[in-house]
Amino acid sequence: MQKNEVVLMFSDIRGYSRLLELDEQEALEILSKHNEISQQLISEYNGNLIKRLDDSILATFPSVNDAFLCATDFQARIKEINLNRKKPKRLLVSIGLHKGEGEYRFNTLAGEQVNITARLQSMAESGAICMSGCFYSAISRMIEPKVIEYRDVSIENLEGSHNVYKTLSIYPTEFKAERPVIHQRSDFRYRIKDIEHIRGTGSSFLGTTLVALTGLSIFIFLIAGLQSQQSNDSAMVLIGAWFTAPATYFALIPASLFFAALYARRKMRAVFEDIRDVDRILAYIMAQLGYRQPVHRKGFLLFRPEPGNYFILGMRKFSARVDGNTIILQGPYLYMSRLIKMLKNYEQTGKTEIS
């Protein structure tokens, strides 16, 4: 894994699904024009287009100056092409700008910085730009952008409070700048590309079963020892009699499997087609499963059960790492299986209930 300082821009067309509903052919033409302008400006300002996701763009730049000038020029060009368009059919874009340490995995940019930039974009009004504190601190040394500062803002699934900086919209009377607020959503749309079991650091199902079998066998030895003292029979004779009886195995094996189902841990990788809302999707599904909102620990999201669910058998903590469009999950075997089913069911039906 390679880590480098990166300057990121994430942009998204606002209300594109509505444009498709009004006139699909015209919406596709608007998207084509949007892609043409964005590609031209990213190249003009020395940027690198990392990913294009339907109506969204993720790009990197060599400097905050290049990124900011590209974003402002992008909005200005969009305003020009909207001059002859009626309001319902205008192209409206919001942009997020951020600077941080990015992670390159298999030549693809991933990690928390991408998610932060996408969050900033969602905070910007149509026709506006939203910048993180570190981005604004760097750009303000070179130029003085006209921005509105918002202090102590919560950014979803990111620890602490943060300062963000917004430019006015290119349509300032129509889209007025407002303090960013986290909106709880339950209408996510996503497609899962791949879900696979991966080797983890936790105890496997087979390993936990063997540990349980060993522990229960030791318990039987202790019971035999106690009973031999009371009845004056040999403990080995009692153990031999018990372990030659089929009933012992009919009890031991299911009990060991049950114990493994409760305490074994499983590690999974889920890859989505889009990088937006991946951590939000996970937090929402986990809440439906009975877990609290995550806390951050050393780059991981840690999910703990709601207080009322602590005594449910097998319900223990989950850890997750979000890397762009990928989630690495580790948690209890039973609930991991249920979580994967809920993710797949929600993808197909928009509901978390498993029939």
Query: What are the tens digits of pLDDT across the range 102-151?
Result: 776 656 676 678 888 888 998 899 999 999 999 999 998 888 888 998 88
* Average pLDDT for 37-64: 91
CATH topology of domain 194-202+264-349: Double Stranded RNA Binding Domain (3.30.160)
Residue range(s) occupied by CATH 3.30.70.1230 in the chain: 2-183
- Selection from 102, 79, 101 nearest residue 90 by Cα: 79
Q: Please name the residues in contact with 163: beta carbons below 8 A apart, sequence gap of 6 or more.
A: 133, 136, 149, 150, 151, 152, 153
By three-state DSSP, how is residue 12 classified?
strand
| Residue 195 C-alpha from the chain's centroid | 14
Residue range(s) occupied by CATH 3.30.160 in the chain: 194-202+264-349
- Poorest-pLDDT segment among 78-82, 109-113, 203-207: 203-207
pLDDT at 275 exceeding the cut of 90: no
What's the pTM?
Answer: 0.61
pLDDT at 23: 85
pLDDT at 96 exceeding the cut of 90: yes
Q: End-to-end distance of the chain based on CA atoms, in angstroms?
A: 41
Name, of 9-13, 200-204, 239-243, the range with top average pLDDT. 9-13
pLDDT at 197: 80
CATH topology of domain 2-183: Alpha-Beta Plaits (3.30.70)
